[in-house]
Amino acid sequence: MKVLVIGGGGREHALAWKLSQSPRVDKVYCAPGNAGIAEVAECLDIKADDIDKLLDFVKYNWIDLTVVGPEVPLTLGVVDAFVKEGRPICGPDKKGAQLEGSKIFAKDFMQKYGIPTAEYKMFTSYLQAEEYVRLKGAPIVVKADGLAAGKGVIVAETVEEANDALKSIMKDKAFGDAGNRVVVEQCLKGEEASFMILTDGETVVPLATSQDHKQIFDGDKGPNTGGMGAYSPAPIVDESLRQVVMETIIAPMMRGLKRERINFRGVIYVGLMICDGKPFVLEYNCRFGDPEAQPILMRLESDLFELLKATADGKLKDVQVTWKDETSICIVLASPGYPGSYEKGKVIKGLDSFKNSEDVMVFHAGTKQKNREIVTAGGRVLGVTALGKDIQAARDNVYKAVEKIQFEGMQYRKDIGNKAINSR
């Protein structure tokens, strides 16, 4: 079997790495890939959003399954194009991808199908949005409607901060057309968790829980990023809460997808806020989270190819999922200046330290090869991921591993895993 992974970040490295371990997989390709992915897959000079070239490659190379990593090709309709040509692909159709591609579509969907979420209003007028913020007060959340690489959500602690966010999104066009419309919503206070499922439209298979850390600095301070680290499992989602999530969020969501005639065969990521023991939906993503995929796939014992092929073929009811009992933590190493502007081309040292490790993996997010050296090529550069018998052991292992890697200006959070340890 031959598999194509679309994308070139840490999530895609984790997917390609896990898929390459399947006894049924003979060859993994990745478009466009990165320096780390090149060790487990053949990287292609095709951009992740070039649907025509991707489809041509799949046709002429008889690819048995395509797995979509990032959100952009999904929102552009890559699944619709592949399905039309009878090519197996794991992901939602273009309409389903709107759950991530449009905050307004997602919030309206949740309201329509009775899924618990924060109170909200949509605006196309800066002046009306500003007036609403003054009326509601702070703290309050401002969201760009469209895709903004995980950075389009601002939790404003004051009215002034909220108005600055509105100005940045709607007037200064910080996120381009993604900010033509905004959602202003109630600020929920609690603890976040990531709840991902696989679905073929009928069967639902919950994946291991995880917790992401969005802010750039320790203590959840500073601006949002695409994610600075994650661990799995998330202790806050115990069996009792898991049942509540399945009954009050996943079940009505699946009913809604059917009624809206959305063809969803892939991963649905539900970003949760747990307030006084009750789950509320913050956001939907229509693919594996990044960096959550890294610790989750480190813990997966099942054959990922079998899982994703069954998802694409509508046969998910025929497979079982098993997990390692261990905990896993991913620490993102980022370029200096991220999530703002940053320099590229910094030489990365220490990567050879983990070549034969079973408990530590370094997933490449923003890297490339230059003159036989691996250099930085993105904001989030590496996702150092380790296993441990419990959260403390995993945390010790991952931070020991981080100490062996260096590149100029390297920044990372020092507190990933603390919440889980403190909750024990």
pLDDT in tens, 75-104: 999 999 999 999 999 999 999 999 999 999
Could you give the number of structural domains in the chain? Answer: 2
**What is d(CA 403, CA 380) in angstroms, rounded to the nearest whole number?**
17
In a domain, 51, yes or no: no
In a domain, 27, yes or no: no
In a domain, 201, yes or no: yes
Residue 295, classed as helix, strand or coil, is: helix
Q: Is 393 exposed, middle or buried (0-12, 13-18, 19+ CB in 10 A)?
A: middle
* pLDDT at residue 423 in the model: 67
Whether residues 181 and 201 share a domain: the answer is: no
Whether residues 294 and 333 share a domain: the answer is: yes
Buried b (16+ CB within 10 A) or exposed e, 122-138: bbeeeeebbebbeebeb
Domain harbouring 215, CATH code: 3.30.470.20
Pairing of strands 360-364, 120-123: unpaired
In a domain, 59, yes or no: no
Tell me the residue type at 352.
D
Whether residues 250 and 231 share a domain: the answer is: yes
Whether residues 163 and 226 share a domain: the answer is: no
pLDDT in tens, 207-238: 999 999 999 999 999 988 989 999 999 999 99
Domain boundary among 151, 186, 221: 186
* pLDDT at residue 420 in the model: 82
Kindly give, in sequence order, each residue whose CB lies less than 8 Å from that of residue 374, ignoring residues fewer than 6 positions away: 35, 36, 347, 348, 351, 364, 367, 368
In a domain, 136, yes or no: yes
Q: Per-residue pLDDT for 402 more than 70?
A: yes
Peptide bond into 32 cis (omega under 30): yes
Instruction: Average the pLDDT over 247-273 and give the result.
Output: 96
365 neighbors 229 (Cβ within 8 angstroms): no
* pLDDT at residue 28 in the model: 98
Q: Per-residue pLDDT for 355 more than 80?
A: no
How many degrees, rounded to 5, is the angle at CA 288 between CA 408 and CA 299? 80
Whether residues 255 and 195 share a domain: the answer is: yes
Which DSSP symbol is given to 207? P
In a domain, 97, yes or no: no
Residue 181, classed as helix, strand or coil, is: coil
Q: Per-residue pLDDT for 358 more than 90?
A: no
In a domain, 243, yes or no: yes
Whether residues 176 and 217 share a domain: the answer is: no
* pLDDT at residue 325 in the model: 96
Instruction: Average the pLDDT over 416-423 and give the result.
Output: 84
Whether residues 306 and 337 share a domain: the answer is: yes
Whether residues 175 and 208 share a domain: the answer is: no
Whether residues 355 and 413 share a domain: the answer is: yes
pLDDT in tens, 321-349: 999 999 999 999 999 999 999 999 999 99
Instruction: Average the pLDDT over 360-372 and give the result.
Output: 95
Domain boundary among 149, 170, 186: 186
Domain harbouring 149, CATH code: 3.30.1490.20
* pLDDT band with cut points at 50, 70 and 90 for residue 353: confident
Whether residues 166 and 218 share a domain: the answer is: no
Domain boundary among 141, 158, 186: 186
In a domain, 93, yes or no: no
Tell me the residue type at 189.
K
Pairing of strands 373-376, 367-370: antiparallel
Whether residues 169 and 306 share a domain: the answer is: no
Whether residues 295 and 385 share a domain: the answer is: yes
* pLDDT at residue 424 in the model: 61
Which residue range forms the structural domain that includes residue 199? 191-422
What's the predicted TM-score (pTM) here?
Answer: 0.94
